[in-house]
Amino acid sequence: MTMAQRIDNVIRASRLKNVRRTLPTFARKAELRRGRQCLEFIMFVGHYSVAFAAKSEKNKIPLWVLFIAVQFLDYIWATLVLLGVEKLRVIKGFTAGSMLDSYFHPYSHSLIGAIIWSGVAALVYWAACSRHGCLYRKSAAVIVALAAFSHWVLDFIAHPRDLPIYDNTLKVGLGMWNYRDPEFALEIALLAGGIILYLTRNVMPAIRRKAVIAFGIALVVVQIGDTYVPRTPLTDKATAMGVWIFYTLFVVVAFLLEKIGSRRQIKVS
């Protein structure tokens, strides 16, 4: 063995040692498996199922508000990642269904943090309604809080053990990300159930029903792409910015959905 080969072996061994120190076992194995195509995936459309299911004529909460509520924790998370407060690694093959290693997110995704942010969401909605005089029931703010907290519950099902109970300790997670096909099936089942409840519980013109179904199909297509289409991993900042852009886009779509056929409905009544 030549001197150059020995030096090369030492460098490789050092790199492997660093990987072992910084990554969990299952992530380390995937990271060292060179040439493997990988996926970028977040527990995604399942969150919106709660927004669809929670919307009713009785509580009068706009669908777009519920769309914000169910992703409120991720809005906080993305903002804190952009500010460098919370930490994210994007690792090829981190799990079967995700490249995202959120190894430090105690402020947005701890159990205690989720409870606090859910309360904040309820207070913001209550204050906004009180100020602008919009129609709402007293239970509406509670529903917004529960919708916000549902994000942590669904993340608990999907995430590996990276959700802290408080601070950055006692991390939990059932790890459905490790089982790509069952996790995908769960996403679609939740979304379908939520949309069915939305269509059943709310009176709307036929054109809006068709638009809601079309939007649901579009979300399924997006989920298929996120789950099964290989892609190059983004940086942590680009991933956080993508959360802000695409989640807000879906909020706008939810707002426009409830405008479809509204003028016609007013004229008929």
Q: Where are the alpha helices (DSSP H) in 159-230?
A: 180-201, 206-228
Tokens read off for 218: 């579009």
4, pLDDT greater than 80: no
The reported pLDDT for the residue numbered 225 is 87
| Amino acid residing at 20 | R
The reported pLDDT for the residue numbered 33 is 38
The reported pLDDT for the residue numbered 51 is 98
Tokens read off for 4: 């150059």
What helix, strand, coil percent values describe the chain, rounded to 5? 65, 5, 25
- Sign of torsion, CA 256 243 146 144? negative
Where residue 10 falls among pLDDT bands split at 50, 70, 90? very low
pLDDT digits (tens, 9 = 90+) for 169-180: 999 999 999 999
The reported pLDDT for the residue numbered 268 is 42
HSE-CB at 175 with a 13 A cutoff on CA atoms is 10
pLDDT digits (tens, 9 = 90+) for 91-131: 877 888 788 889 999 999 999 999 999 999 999 999 988 77
User: Which residues, at least 6 apart from 145, have a Cβ–Cβ distance to it below 8 Å?
Assistant: 118, 119, 121, 122
Residue 65 CA from chain centroid, whole number: 16
5, pLDDT greater than 80: no
The reported pLDDT for the residue numbered 252 is 98
267, pLDDT greater than 80: no
How far is 240 from 220, CA to CA, in rounded Å? 22
pLDDT exceeding 90 applies to what percent of the chain? 65
| Amino acid residing at 147 | A
How far is 113 from 253, CA to CA, in rounded Å? 28
How far is 104 from 88, CA to CA, in rounded Å? 7
How far is 258 from 5, CA to CA, in rounded Å? 67
How far is 145 from 169, CA to CA, in rounded Å? 24
User: Which residues, at least 6 apart from 229, have a Cβ–Cβ distance to it below 8 Å?
Assistant: 39
The reported pLDDT for the residue numbered 16 is 39
pLDDT digits (tens, 9 = 90+) for 196-250: 999 999 999 999 999 999 999 999 999 998 888 887 888 999 999 999 999 999 9
